[in-house]
Amino acid sequence: MTTPEIKAIAESLLFASGTPLSLRRLAEIIGVIQAEMKAALALLREEYALPGRGIILCEVAGGYQLRTAPEHADYVKTLLREKPSRLSRAALETLAIIAYRQPITKVELEAVRGVNVDAVLNSLLTRKLIRVMGRKDVPGRPWVYGSTPQFLELFGLSDLTNLPPLPDFHEPTVNPYGETDASGASPQDSQSSGSGLAPDGGGPDSAGTSPGEWGDGHSSGDDGGPPA
């Protein structure tokens, strides 16, 4: 089978498919090796990239998909007469945290955002932008969440390595609001060895953690499971 023939068949498959098709899947359907398939897709992408074309070939969510040209979006919206699906700011913030820090528990999400995320998680799960990946192997075994191929497709990403890099943040080495005693040492320093504890107040355990403190930084176990 020639490259032009493979290209034409691939174009039909991509046009008929509502979701991205992987290189492997396309090669299996057409009956060619992946190297031949990749060459045909590269040729097809070049053709769609020519000026005056209304369709482009995108590599998203680990596969290939035909999409309308961005500059024609207003006309497509008029045709469909549908309001574009929008995510709230809370949903975008939560989704970003999950994308960059997955797998992550609900407790960890709430620690970052500082608010309850039950409703937002329900919304993202319903939209299939996140999924339950399993349980974290810590006391309470809370559910952990991660992103989905639909998330990659929505944001036009081939995989998670295409996420934009996060800016660097540097924590201050000195706390400008810290208090010091007459010797210039902070109160925390004078108690770091535990000598400042009351005689009957207990002390650090053998692992160096206080009672009720889990190894993963949580003060509690199960977060109640995934939202209903």
Domains defined for the chain, CATH in brackets: 3-80 (1.10.10.10), 89-162 (1.10.10.10)
Print burial letters for 179-208: b (CB count within 10 Å at least 16), e (below 16): eeeeeeeeeeeeeeeeeeeeeeeeeeeeee
- pLDDT value at position 190? 42
Q: Encoding tokens for residue 224?
A: 């109640």
Could you say which residues of the chain have pLDDT below 70?
82-85, 168-228
Q: How far apart are CA 116 and CA 143, in angstroms?
A: 15
**pLDDT tens by residue, 115-124:** 888 889 988 9
Q: How far apart are CA 28 and CA 50, in angstroms?
A: 28
- pLDDT value at position 52? 87
- pLDDT value at position 199? 39
**pLDDT tens by residue, 145-173:** 999 988 988 888 888 888 888 776 555 55
Of 89, 85, 153, 145, nearest in space to 121 by CA = 145
- pLDDT value at position 73? 85
Segment (H or E) for 90: helix 89-101
